Amino acid sequence: MDPIRVVITGAAGQIAYSLLHSVAKGDVFGKDQPVELMLLDIEPMMTVLGGVVMEVMDCSLPLVRNVVPTADPMVAFKDADVAMLVGAMPRREGMERKDLLKANVKIFKAQGQAMDDVAKKTIKVVVVGNPANTNAFICAKYAPSIPKENFSALTRLDQNRAQAQVANKLGIPCNDVNNCIIWGNHSSTQFPDVSYATVKVAGKELEANSAIKDDHWVRNDFISTVQKRGACVIAARKLSSAMSAANAIVDHVRDWWQGSGDRMVSMAVWSNDNKYGIASELMYSFPVKTAAKGKIEIVNGLKIEEWQRERMDLTCKELVEERDAALAECEE
Ligand code: NAI
């Protein structure tokens, strides 16, 4: 099988350090799919990145056919099949995501332009660097020759956090919880929703709400715990989530590449095909299904109640504001 070319940006950073081994040993693209790893970081990080490259080599993994460290986006994105855009300035304690926008959005403009010039038109892109949804929007905008459907932002970490909260509440394993949804922005306005989730308790498949039997928790503590989880990790570690973020990137790209099956998963995607009344031209997190190596399909038609509507609209409003601020920043 021919190798695929996989770009990881921020390759000298902490998320990439947790991510590389999984990508290199076949957890994402399958155990028989060889990979070429294109590792992009900024010039001052090239010595550190050199050490990471040595470690990747020293894992002696048969699927790794080539490892290229570079500070040049035109080298990194050349003929790329997949890009995991992790590189950005991370949020530190006390910093709001909006402060990050100014610093980070231009990185994604430049990377979009480089992809437009040299990547395959079929490239699949997941943006992780924050503000992830808006960075993905900017990246897609500045890569006009690549379909918008090929871009996404990571909200799988939020979905995994939501699943873990439900599993913990019911005392069941996480893989007995399915179809938790994240609506909207990867920020504190995100709306984690268990309305369509199912759980397996004592061998029986149940609706999550009827197993949890605690509407107050579902509409309050559960939501705020998931919304604030990233900030809590930063407060404790003084660094943002890295292991769990890398794990979520693996889940997101694996499901995109290999198909999500019957499960709904959450991904922030181009909003134009949604039937939920969410504004067009946003990277909004929806429930989606993916066919192997195929298009991401928004799962439309779920019944929405008034209390859900309010939360979906609130996070949409934030994304519109972020998008407009980012566009203004890029046009300066
Ligand atoms: P880190 O600081 O350890 O690594 C970031 C790396 O990006 C550094 O090596 C830096 O030199 C590099 N970088 C900066 N500008 C770059 C550019 N123009 N091109 C290529 N590389 C560049 O940060 P960490 O912890 O790995 O986090 C990375 C990003 O992921 C942050 O923006 C963080 O907020 C975000 N994040 C997103 C999550 C999500 O669920 N969407 C979850 C956790 C973190």
Find the CATH number of the domain harbouring 128.
Answer: 3.40.50.720
pLDDT digits (tens, 9 = 90+) for 279-329: 999 999 999 999 877 889 999 999 999 999 999 999 999 999 999 999 999
Task: Give kind and range of the element (H or E) at residue 222.
Answer: helix 221-237
- Tally of domains within the chain: 2
pLDDT at 128 over 90: yes
The answer to whether the CB of 41 is under 6 A from ligand 1 is yes
Are residues 237 and 298 located together in one domain of the fold?
Answer: yes
Q: Is 269 helix (H, G, I), strand (E, B) or coil?
A: strand
User: How far does residue 156's CA lie from ligand 1's centre (Å)?
Assistant: 16
Are residues 257 and 217 located together in one domain of the fold?
Answer: yes
Last residue within a domain, chosen from 153, 181, 199? 153
Assigned domain for 183 exists: yes
Are residues 234 and 277 located together in one domain of the fold?
Answer: yes
As a three-state string, the secondary structure of 123-186 is CEEEECCCCHHHHHHHHHHCCCCCCHHHEEECCHHHHHHHHHHHHHHHCCCHHHEECCEEEECC
- For residue 73, whether the previous peptide bond is cis, meaning omega lies within 30 degrees of 0, is no
Assigned domain for 329 exists: no
Question: Is the CB of residue 105 less than 8 Å from the CB of residue 134?
Answer: yes
Q: What percent of the chain has pLDDT over 90?
A: 92
Last residue within a domain, chosen from 153, 187, 217? 153
Are residues 315 and 221 located together in one domain of the fold?
Answer: yes
Cross-strand partners of 296: 290
Are residues 147 and 212 located together in one domain of the fold?
Answer: no
pLDDT digits (tens, 9 = 90+) for 224-283: 999 999 999 999 999 889 999 999 999 999 999 999 999 999 999 999 999 999 999 999
Query: Which domain, by its residues, includes 33?
Result: 4-153
Question: Is the CB of residue 49 less than 8 Å from the CB of residue 87?
Answer: no
Are residues 104 and 225 located together in one domain of the fold?
Answer: no
Residue 324: partners with Cβ closer than 8 Å, 6 or more residues away:
none
ipTM of the complex: 0.98
Are residues 125 and 169 located together in one domain of the fold?
Answer: no
The answer to whether the CB of 136 is under 6 A from ligand 1 is no
Confidence class of residue 97 from pLDDT cuts 50, 70 and 90? low
Structure-derived torsion over alpha carbons of residues 19, 267, 315, 141, reported in degrees to the nearest 10 = 90
Assigned domain for 331 exists: no
**Mean pLDDT for the stretch of residues 95-107:** 81
User: How far does residue 128's CA lie from ligand 1's centre (Å)?
Assistant: 8
The answer to whether the CB of 15 is under 6 A from ligand 1 is yes
The answer to whether the CB of 40 is under 6 A from ligand 1 is yes
Distance, in Å, from the CA atom of 102 to the CA atom of 163, rounded to the nearest integer, reads: 32
Mutation probe of ligand 1 site: the residue of 86, 93, 102, 233 with most atoms within 8 A of C-beta: 86
Distance, in Å, from the CA atom of 195 to the CA atom of 25, rounded to the nearest integer, reads: 36
- For the entire predicted model, the pTM comes to 0.97
Residue 65: partners with Cβ closer than 8 Å, 6 or more residues away:
3, 34, 35, 36
pLDDT digits (tens, 9 = 90+) for 164-207: 999 999 999 999 999 999 999 999 999 999 999 999 999 999 99
Cross-strand partners of 183: 191
CATH number at residue 302: 3.90.110.10
The closest alpha carbon to 3, from 83, 65, 70, 85, belongs to 65
Catalytic status, residue 216: no
Q: Is 206 helix (H, G, I), strand (E, B) or coil?
A: strand
pLDDT at res. 142: 98
The answer to whether the CB of 233 is under 6 A from ligand 1 is no
Confidence class of residue 67 from pLDDT cuts 50, 70 and 90? very high
Assigned domain for 169 exists: yes
User: How far does residue 108's CA lie from ligand 1's centre (Å)?
Assistant: 12
Are residues 16 and 74 located together in one domain of the fold?
Answer: yes
Assigned domain for 57 exists: yes
How many helices (H) and strands (E) are present in the chain, helices listed first? 11, 14
- Of ligand 1's listed atoms, the one at least distance from the Cα of 156 is 40
pLDDT at res. 100: 81
Assigned domain for 332 exists: no
Are residues 162 and 268 located together in one domain of the fold?
Answer: yes
Are residues 184 and 110 located together in one domain of the fold?
Answer: no
Are residues 218 and 306 located together in one domain of the fold?
Answer: yes
Confidence class of residue 92 from pLDDT cuts 50, 70 and 90? low
Are residues 226 and 298 located together in one domain of the fold?
Answer: yes
Q: Whose CA is nearest to atom 29 of ligand 1?
A: 129
Q: pLDDT: is 318 or 89 the higher one?
A: 318
E strand spans, 179-312: 181-183, 191-193, 198-201, 204-207, 265-270, 283-290, 296-298
Last residue within a domain, chosen from 153, 170, 200? 153
Confidence class of residue 91 from pLDDT cuts 50, 70 and 90? low
